[in-house]
Amino acid sequence: MSNIFVKGMYLLFKFRDLFFPPQKILKEVDIQPGFHILDFGCGSGSYSIPAGELVGESGKVYALDIHPLAVETVQKRALKKRITNIETICSDCATGLKNSTIDVVLLYDVFHIFEEPNEILAELHRILKPSSILSFSDHHMKEDEILPEVTNTGLFKLLKKGKWTYSFSKVG
């Protein structure tokens, strides 16, 4: 994707965030101070920034995106808001995080573009703690597509469906 296309997407995200505030959506996940969160496909940081505020100084947010401009944008936004607990990762799949270290993965509006979704789900399963949550939302997909796509590997099962998100728990 070109930088111009990405910047255009970020402009659309600003409008989206006016109608669907990330803070409201993140409330469904019940993020607590001290949590370690991965925002997979973070884009401009619409969820990374408020998640960084929610986890507080004792928590950590990893903001991962394949596009270098996304990583740079999140870094600039965090610096501007003086949020110091956000670390960026530029990658298409591998997080570089240790096994069983993440409390919540935010997987919002990116699943539909994955070429190897099962590979990504396996990576997310690897880094999530046993009692953790995969919080999923993708407005490009219908419920009858989401549930089998996320659960077909046997790595995750549906825990609950909220107004904005689906919460999946790690199996095994």
Q: Report d(CA 68, CA 36) in Å as an integer.
A: 22
**Strand 166-170 versus strand 36-40 pairing type:** unpaired
CATH number, position 7: 3.40.50.150
User: How far apart, in Å, are the Cα atoms of 79 and each of 14, 49, 87, 141?
Assistant: 18, 10, 11, 34
Q: Report d(CA 113, CA 95) in Å as an integer.
A: 18
Whole-model pTM: value is 0.90
> Domain range holding 63?
3-170
The confidence score (pLDDT) of residue 14 equals 61
Return the closest-CA partner of residue 46 out of 61, 34, 32: 61
Low-confidence ranges of the chain (pLDDT < 70): 1-18
The confidence score (pLDDT) of residue 161 equals 96
Tokens standing for 145? 């597509």
What is the total count of domains within the chain?
Answer: 1
Strand-by-strand arrangement of the 86-90 sheet:
86-90, 60-65, 36-40, 102-108, 128-137, 166-170, 156-161
